[in-house]
């Protein structure tokens, strides 16, 4: 009898510039609760969106090497900026490793829009990248794209206080131009932004649809994971592993945020 994905053991490494990748980690855990998940928040070097391509690439390669040393069979780059800047280099350095990147959901947004006007909320690093430009050319030739950089928003979310005045002010500032352009679909182009999706939706109005790619990334991770690990017919609820986390920033902040934002147990350590 075939086993379900819930019965497969696999070690998955996930990283982001900070806390935003927890939205992707959460989606992966929903599909693969039996996986050993390992997460690195590079908060001590955030935000990536305001760093150079070379800097983000160097950090990504270093963290990927750490996660591979921990036994990760699949790597998920749970950061739009790191994907744009470094996923090609990661795949060149680790040709035998299954690597999943995160990209803004331009394609589903183009298929869903009713009036042909799509907004993209993202970091400056993502929007200026060649990878993003190619993505837009491939999937948005027949629609209007309104690109809105959100300087400081990821950093404000990184504090963990999602309803703080700083977060609310930046959400309103970033959404106002898109509301004026009368977009009907908005792409959340940073993995931090789903954690304030309710505020973004309120700022844009009830007729605007938000596109988040966390579930699509989780499905791709699932497909690659099933190819990496054999099923375990004896796996039960008690066997499911605790997620391991590391941060280059404030360990207590990551621990507190994980406790509030996630529904599964985690350990948190500091990564120099």
80 is in an annotated binding site: yes
Catalytic residue among 79, 150, 174, 175: 79
| Nearest one of 158, 16, 9, 6 to 75, comparing CA atoms | 16
79 is catalytic: yes
Does the annotation flag 115 for ligand binding?
A: no
Are 165 and 178 in contact, with CB atoms under 8 Å apart? Answer: no
Q: Which residues contact 168 (CB under 8 A, 6 or more apart)?
A: 199
Is 81 marked as a binding-site residue? Answer: yes
Is residue 17 marked as binding?
yes
Smallest CA-to-CA distance from 122 within 47, 217, 215 is with 47
Cβ pair 200, 176 in contact under 8 A:
no
Closest CA to 53 of 92, 77, 13, 88: 88
Q: Which is it for the CA torsion 110, 78, 193, 265, positive or negative?
A: positive
**Nearest alpha-carbon partner for 231 in 31, 30, 7:** 7
Report the alpha-carbon distance of residue 24 to residue 35 in Å, rounded.
14
Is residue 72 within 8 A of residue 38, CB to CB? The reply is yes
CA 55 to chain centre: 19
Q: Does the annotation count 174 as an active-site position?
A: no
Q: Which one from 150, 175, 190, 266 is the annotated catalytic residue?
A: 190
User: What does each C-alpha distance from 34 to 9, 82, 182, 244, 245 come to in angstroms?
Assistant: 6, 27, 43, 13, 16
Give binding residues for substrate as ranges.
16-17, 48-49, 80-81, 191-192
Active site residues per annotation: 79, 190
Which residues make up each annotated binding site?
16-17, 48-49, 80-81, 191-192
């Amino acid at each position: 009898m075939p086993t379900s994905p819930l019965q497969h053991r696999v070690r998955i490494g996930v990283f982001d510039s900070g806390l935003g990748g927890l939205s992707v980690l959460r989606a992966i855990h929903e599909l693969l609760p039996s996986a050993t998940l390992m997460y690195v928040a590079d908060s001590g070097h955030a935000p990536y969106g305001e760093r150079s391509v070379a800097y983000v690439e160097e950090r990504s390669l270093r963290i990927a090497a750490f996660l591979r040393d921990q036994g990760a069979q699949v790597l998920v780059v749970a950061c739009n900026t790191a994907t744009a800047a470094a996923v090609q280099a990661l795949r060149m350095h680790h040709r035998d490793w299954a690597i999943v990147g995160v990209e803004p959901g331009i394609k589903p947004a183009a298929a869903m829009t009713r009036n042909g006007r799509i907004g993209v909320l993202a970091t400056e690093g993502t929007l200026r990248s060649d990878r993003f430009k190619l993505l837009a050319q491939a999937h948005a030739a027949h629609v209007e794209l309104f690109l809105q950089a959100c300087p400081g928003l990821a950093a404000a979310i990184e504090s963990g206080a999602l309803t703080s005045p700083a977060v609310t002010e930046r959400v309103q500032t970033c959404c106002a131009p898109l509301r004026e352009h009368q977009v009907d679909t908005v792409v959340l182009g940073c993995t931090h932004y789903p954690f304030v999706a309710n505020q973004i939706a309120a700022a844009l109005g009830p007729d605007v649809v938000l596109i988040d790619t966390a579930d699509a990334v989780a499905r791709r991770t699932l497909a690659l994971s099933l190819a990496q690990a054999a099923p375990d017919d004896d796996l039960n609820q008690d066997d499911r592993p605790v997620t391991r986390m590391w941060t280059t920033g404030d360990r207590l902040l990551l621990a507190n945020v994980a406790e509030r934002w996630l529904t599964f147990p985690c350990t948190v350590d500091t990564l120099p």
